[in-house]
Structure 1
Amino acid sequence: MEPEITEESTEETVQPEEPVEAEEPVEEAVEEEQKEEIRNVLPGDLIGTSEEFIPKSGAYVEGGNIYASASGIVKINNKERSISVEPVTNTPPHLVVGDIVIGQVTDVKDSVALVEIAGIKGKGEREIVNADQAAIHVSNVKDAYVKELYYEFAPFDIVKARVLDLRNMRLSTVNKELGVMKAYCGNCRTVLKIDNNKLKCPKCERTETRKLSSDYGTGII
């Protein structure tokens, strides 16, 4: 006798497929690296605005603008939205008599202009170990007679000067390459431009005088 074929035996047994778990997309954490601008700046240089960045080391805010408080290279961190000025070298230099320094005028009195030293020419731009507030006496401004020191310097000016004495921190600008390298309008704080041997504000047209360095406006230290 032939075996009886039932309906159940003709059906193939189908194994259920195991569900395949969908791979979840892996988000790559991309860190925005710190960006270095190939731009050397001096104290007082405009490097950004408070709407764009948070000022860090070597920078400060004034009137919504961010300025360099030291000489060096501008660094921008896009992740933190911060901006800073990084000094060029790692070893803090020492001042010696004869050094050419870069600084910012903090106050002008009848006989002296007070200067905060920011760096030494040829020795990098790190914080100076033995620096203190220095002074340019009226007798050390230039070879010619100085009637009023207020005509030679003003607060916020960036100056280049030679160190005369470390004990009293005296500086001199008696040389054509020494003096004010950058000046700001006393009215609107716009950078002044040279116009017929005088300084003129391109914004409000105010004219001012300074003991100018031959490198004024060039950015050359």
Structure 2
Amino acid sequence: MSLTLPGDRLASAMEYVPGPGVYERNGELFAALTGELVRDEQNTELRVKPAVSVPLEISAGEQVLGRVHSIRESMATIEVVRVKGKARQVGTWIMGTLHIARMSEDYVSDINEVYCVNDLVQAEVDETKPALKLNTKKGRDGVVGARCSDCRDRLNVVDGELFCTECRQREARKLSSEYGQVQL
């Protein structure tokens, strides 16, 4: 095992190509992270396996959980708090956009009939660059947790709709098939 520190010279760029945790400068390869040096002779690649966990990166196709931060006429802004299947939480404040055309397979004329501010939603990442674009068209995607817009009590699913047992109000949302089962 070979421990590297950031800035350590590892090899010439003529011998290896830089992999994760390695960068090239002036024809030389250097460690970008503290960790274990891994030499992949088959692919002639050098990489550094981090000694500590690195910030979480979000990729297209991943499922994310987030809170509806704001709603406009044609889109909702979602604060992403977790990537499903990964133990580590998102470390920085990451906002994604959910356009009205990507909310449901059905036609959506009013976003407020699909999502409300502070709803907890599950979405799929469509794009990460230049901005995070989300999609909730699939059945597993949509609202996974919500509160009554009047009394703020937790809403329950009754006959396919959200129902408040406290104030007896029904609310429409684009429900995930996993409503009430997702924990942050």
For the superposition of Structure 1 and Structure 2, which TM-score range results when normalised by the shorter chain? 0.5 to 0.7
Residue 56 of structure 2, aligned match among 63, 83, 93: 93
Aligned CA distance change for structure 1 residues 91 and 124 (closer, same or farther; 3 Å) = farther
Question: Within 2, Cα distance between the matches of 1:158 and 1:188?
Answer: 17
**Cα offset for 1:159?**
0.5
Matched, 1:162 2:124: yes
**Cα offset for 1:168?**
2.1
Equivalent residue for 2:19?
none
**Cα offset for 1:220?**
6.1
Could you list the structure 1 runs, at least 4 aligned residues long, displaced by more than 4 angstroms after superposition. Answer: none
- Taking the TM superposition and a 5 Å limit, the aligned residue runs for 1:83-122 are 90-122=53-85
Question: Within 2, Cα distance between the matches of 1:124 and 1:202?
Answer: 33
Segments of structure 2 that go 5 or more residues without pairing to the other structure are 1-51
Instruction: Select the structure of larger CA radius of gyration.
Output: 1
Question: Within 1, Cα distance between the matches of 2:76 and 2:153?
Answer: 21
CA deviations 1:157-207 (Å, max 9, x no partner) are 000001111122110001000110001100011111111111111101111
Q: TM-score normalized by structure 1?
A: 0.56
Segments of structure 1 that go 5 or more residues without pairing to the other structure are 1-88
Q: Which has the higher strand share?
A: 2
**Cα offset for 1:108?**
1.3
Identity of aligned residues (%): 29
Aligned length: 132
- Taking the TM superposition and a 5 Å limit, the aligned residue runs for 1:52-131 are 90-128=53-91
Q: TM-score normalized by structure 2?
A: 0.67
**Aligned residues of 1:157 and 1:184 also touching (Cα < 8 A):** yes
**Cα offset for 1:90?**
4.7
